[in-house]
Structure 1
Amino acid sequence: MKQFPVKLGEGGRVVIPVDVRKELGIDVGDELMLHMEEGKLVLLTRKQAIQYVQEQMAKYEIGDRVLSQELIDDRRRETE
């Protein structure tokens, strides 16, 4: 696990080191999702946040039904 020391700046700002931004493919102005999980701050790219929600929803199966897939199918029908 890589660790990068950062400081909390004025107005609660945290600077993400350039090496981390490059590895994640993020740039200034990109939208990130921040949430707390078990007392920890978790910062995700939009793609990572979507994947996280999909993984969480995949846990909820009712018989042969997979609720996450039903939700995806509903959203696709709405856009058609």
Structure 2
Amino acid sequence: MNVQRGKLVSGGRLQLPVEIRRALSLSDGDTVLLEVVDGEIHVRPYRDAVARVQAKLRKYVEPGRSLSDELIAERRAAAENE
């Protein structure tokens, strides 16, 4: 993708061109992460950052094991013991 021109509008909001929103599969209301790197703003969808972290952590969990189910079970057991 070539360089696109955006615009800073009232309240410090950044208006992204439709081509960039489409390329990143962004819709109104989506959460993005903003990072300043060497004087540039990097924008990435939050969902992509979460997926990247999940992929990195997946290698530490045995197949078929659900950490979320284990956490829920632990919380329920703790609530019963209160």
TM range (shorter): 0.5 to 0.7
Structure 1, residues 15-60: CA drift from partner, whole Å, max 9, x if none?
1111221222211111111122333211101233232x578xx6xx
Q: With structure 2 as the length reference, what TM-score do the two structures score?
A: 0.57
* 2-structure distance, mates of 1:77, 1:42: 33
What stretches of structure 1 move > 6 A for 4+ residues in a row? none
Structure 2 residue runs without a partner (length 5+): 70-82
Q: Partner letter of residue 14 of structure 1?
A: L
**Partner residue in 2 for 1:38:** 38
Is the counterpart of residue 69 in structure 1 residue 59 in structure 2? yes
Q: How many residues align?
A: 66
| Equivalent position of 2:12 in the other structure | 12
Give the structure-1-normalised TM-score. 0.58
Unaligned ranges ≥5, structure 1: 59-66
Aligned sequence identity (%)? 29
Cα RMSD between the aligned structures?
2.8
Q: Of the two, which has the highest radius of gyration? A: 2
